[in-house]
């Protein structure tokens, strides 16, 4: 058991936006704050996510077609194809099957389409073009939605029955396909630990002596790492580094510490976090589902993620927002940013279809 409870203490309140796997890591850090230190994340805005891609593989694939990511203005996955909107109104697309050759291995075992652990989830599926689908899951999520609507940051309308059916179909499709992959890996003696949910006390016992070497063997080396950076954030010794692809350590783990293993969303997960009743509840527990559109922001779909974050910061519900912007040095490479500036939140709108260690900027906040 990790005994360093001073780790990652923070008085700042942060609203984050992230993929379902990143939201799961945030939930673990929240639920185990006694062991991991108080988490700065106060509001979790989860995105829908069917799959994600390796940045370097995607770049290589596009090179085959003489395409350069620096010419891409917007990227969308829609109707079975990946669309690249280019400068000078050009359009290039590849089939999703071809793009899937660049899919991250960890996405093949992912069971969550709609960020089931978030306060409020946002996606495009289920709503008309230019609108987002919003699933409210907690009181905090409801407060954010209602206040943002009252302040005219967003408008909402009822979601159609066919929209709900489509979401249900896609969420179940992801779970069905990926549970088959989980079983395949388990049959090949490559256990998918996060699928082995267990009661809290058993979970704490099971992971009590697990350190970075176990994380490497159980998650990183077998293609289950989602590159979220929760291991880096929670390490009290500051010895975890993520320089591009994989977490590594530079140093030795002291006896008794298991923080990285506990915060990782791809090691064992307690049954309080993971929803196994997939047939009954394909997108987890929720209070309300609506279609929504931002009144003053443009985004990937309805601009709702940007509007909710901007409202949360402007109204001082939180101090800062954790967003994923594009790197300034490599086109379309995602880069996490912590900011209290609405212009920067707006600049980070739009989907970047690859992964980045989203929690890294919180480490810098901690050291401030």
Ligand X SMILES: Cc1cc2nc3c(=O)[nH]c(=O)nc-3n(C[C@H](O)[C@H](O)[C@H](O)COP(=O)(O)OP(=O)(O)OC[C@H]3O[C@@H](n4cnc5c(N)ncnc54)[C@H](O)[C@@H]3O)c2cc1C
In the DSSP assignment, the letter for residue 217 is I
- Residue from the set 15, 40, 51, 133 that interacts with ligand SF4 by CB under 6 A: 51
Which is closer to ligand SF4, CB of 154 or CB of 225? 225
Q: Which does 134 bind (CB under 5 to 8 A by kind): ligand X, ligand SF4, none?
A: none
Of 109 and 309, nearer to ligand X (C-beta) is: 309
Q: Write the binding mask 221 to 260 for ligand SF4: x where contact by CB under 6 A, - elsewhere.
A: ----xxxxxxx--xx-x-xx------x-x---x---xxxx
Q: Which is nearer to ligand SF4, 19 or 351 (CB)?
A: 19
How far apart CA 168 and CA 21 sit, in angstroms, is 19
Considering beta carbons, is residue 207 or 346 the nearer one to ligand X? 346
Any idea of the CA torsion for 76, 79, 85, 88, to the nearest 10 degrees? -160
Comparing CA positions, the residue from 102, 83, 100, 103 lying closest to residue 92 is 83
Q: Outline where the chain has alpha helix (H).
A: 20-31, 33-36, 55-63, 96-99, 139-150, 161-187, 200-206, 212-215, 230-234, 259-263, 304-314, 342-347, 360-367
Binding mask 261-290 for ligand SF4 (x = CB under 6 A): --xxxx------------------------
CB 122 within 8 A of CB 49: no
306 binds, among ligand SF4, ligand X, none (CB under 5 to 8 A by kind): ligand X
Task: Find the largest Cα–Cα distance for the chain.
Answer: 59
Any residues with CB less than 8 A from the CB of 236 and at least 6 apart, and which?
2, 4, 6, 7, 37, 257, 259
Measured CA distances, 14 to 39, 227, 329, 339 (Å): 9, 20, 26, 9
Q: Tell me which residues touch ligand X (CB under 6 A).
A: 17-19, 47-50, 52, 122-125, 132, 299-306, 309, 323-324, 334, 348-353, 358
Select the binding partner of residue 348 from ligand SF4, ligand X, none (C-beta < 5 to 8 A, by kind).
ligand X
User: How many angstroms separate the CA atoms of 208 and 225, rounded?
Assistant: 20
| Residue in the shown chain whose Cβ atom is closest to ligand X | 299
Q: Which is nearer to ligand SF4, 109 or 148 (CB)?
A: 109
CB of 100 to ligand X, least distance (A): 12
Helix axes of 139-150 and 304-314: crossing angle, nearest 10 degrees: 90
| The entry of ligand X, ligand SF4, none that residue 247 binds, CB within 5 to 8 Å by partner kind | ligand SF4
Q: Which one of ligand X, ligand SF4, none interacts with residue 7, CB within 5 to 8 A by kind?
A: none
Q: Which residues bind ligand SF4 (CB under 6 A)?
A: 19-21, 49, 51-52, 104, 106-107, 110, 112, 211-212, 215, 219-220, 225-231, 234-235, 237, 239-240, 247, 249, 253, 257-260, 263-266, 355
């Amino acid at each position: 058991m990790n005994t360093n409870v001073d780790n990652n203490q923070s008085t700042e309140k942060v609203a984050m936006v992230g993929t379902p796997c990143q939201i799961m890591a945030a939930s673990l850090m929240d639920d185990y704050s006694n062991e991991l230190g108080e988490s700065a994340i106060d509001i979790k805005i989860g995105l829908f996510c069917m799959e994600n891609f390796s940045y370097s593989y995607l770049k290589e694939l596009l090179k085959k077609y003489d395409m350069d990511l620096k010419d891409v203005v917007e990227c969308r996955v829609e109707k079975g194809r990946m669309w690249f909107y280019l400068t000078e109104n050009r359009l290039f697309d590849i089939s999703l099957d071809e793009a899937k050759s660049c899919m991250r291995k960890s996405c093949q075992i992912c069971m969550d389409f709609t960020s089931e652990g978030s306060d409020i989830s946002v996606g495009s599926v289920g709503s008309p073009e230019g609108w987002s689908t919003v699933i409210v899951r907690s009181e905090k999520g409801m407060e954010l939605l209602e206040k943002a609507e009252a302040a005219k940051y967003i408008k909402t309308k009822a979601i159609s029955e066919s929209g709900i059916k489509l979401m249900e179909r896609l969420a179940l499709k992801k779970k069905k396909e990926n549970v088959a992959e989980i079983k395949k890996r388990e049959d090949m003696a490559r256990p998918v630990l996060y699928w082995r949910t267990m009661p809290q006390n058993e979970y704490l016992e099971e992971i009590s002596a697990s350190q970075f070497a176990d994380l490497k063997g159980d998650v990183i080396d077998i293609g289950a790492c989602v590159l979220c950076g929760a291991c880096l954030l929670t390490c009290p010794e500051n010895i975890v580094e993520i320089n591009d692809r994989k977490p590594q350590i530079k140093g030795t783990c002291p006896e008794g510490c298991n923080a990285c293993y506990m915060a990782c969303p791809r090691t064992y997960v307690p049954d309080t976090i993971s929803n196994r009743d997939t047939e009954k509840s394909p997108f987890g527990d929720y209070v309300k589902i609506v279609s929504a559109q931002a009144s003053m922001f443009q985004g990937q779909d309805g601009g709702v993620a940007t509007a909710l974050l901007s409202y949360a910061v402007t109204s001082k519900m939180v101090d800062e927002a954790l967003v994923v912007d594009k790197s300034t040095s490599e086109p379309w490479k995602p880069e996490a940013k912590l900011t209290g500036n609405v212009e920067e939140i707006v600049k980070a709108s739009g989907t970047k279809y690859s992964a980045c260690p989203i929690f890294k900027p919180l480490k810098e906040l901690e050291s401030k």
